[in-house]
Amino acid sequence: MARALRLLCIQHDDDTGPGLLAEVARERGIGFDVVMPGSAIPVGIGDYDGLVVLGASPSVNDDAIADWFESELALLRDADRRGVPVLGVCFGAQALAVALGGSVNRAARAEAGWITVETVDPDLIAPGPWLSWHVDLITPPLGATVIATTAVGVQAYVIGPHLAVQFHPEVTMAEISQWTVNDTATLEWAGVDPEVVMAETTREHEPSRQRAETLMSRYLDRVTAAAKPM
């Protein structure tokens, strides 16, 4: 009998949880453990079969997160050395880039709301729309393949067994509603009306859920393929 697979998820903010990603994993019988930054970040990936790193309010370049961000980078590098697939979402995609030798810089403008991407792998990353909410740009590490972009910058890349997306496939309607209230600065910088975001959220909820389920399933296929036998 095959052993049950387990994912470790790092959640940085109370209003940025694993949402749909956790649902899809659990539907496939895959364990999903969530930890917050700080002392809860393990030294190494241990017996976990996959690592999910979610979004965060701060930038990876903020000095204020230095006390826990180095631990997160070390965990990402350990997962990479051991061939454990990582799914990086927004801040998580940026952290994976930094961990593996890429970089992150402030964008010329914020990107928030529902976006359509140019994709070279529509079976993995559909064109969208996807919910975006970020102010930084990723320069992927050497050896990465960029698979989705917008005029603003890189939206998704793969490297080894890892998948990184700048947008938010996991996000729920409740979280989007919170973001439009709690982070008006990003919306203003992006030139986006919060009422428009919520109207589009109502329209895109079900179709985006289907696209996100496909993306997450493809990541979980990578986890299953890379999993070590008992």
Q: Is 213 a catalytic residue?
A: no
Q: Which residues are paired to 149 by β-bridges? A: 118, 154
Confidence of residue 34 (pLDDT cuts 50, 70, 90): very high
Catalytic residue, chosen from 12, 134, 162, 170, is 170
Predicted confidence at residue 1, as pLDDT, reads 47
Per the CB < 8 A criterion, the answer to whether 223 and 30 are in contact is: yes
Q: Is 9 a catalytic residue?
A: no
Terminus-to-terminus CA distance in the chain, angstroms? Answer: 9
Q: Write down the pTM of the prediction.
A: 0.95
Q: Supply 217's token pair.
A: 């399933």
Predicted confidence at residue 163, as pLDDT, reads 98
For the stretch 113-155, pLDDT in tens is 999 999 999 999 999 899 999 999 999 999 999 999 999 999 9
In the chain, the DSSP E strands lie at 6-10, 31-35, 50-53, 86-89, 103-115, 118-119, 130-139, 145-149, 154-159, 162-165
Catalytic residue, chosen from 90, 111, 134, 162, is 90
Domains along the sequence of the chain with CATH: 6-108+134-171+209-226 (3.40.50.880)
Predicted confidence at residue 2, as pLDDT, reads 62
Q: Is 168 a catalytic residue?
A: yes
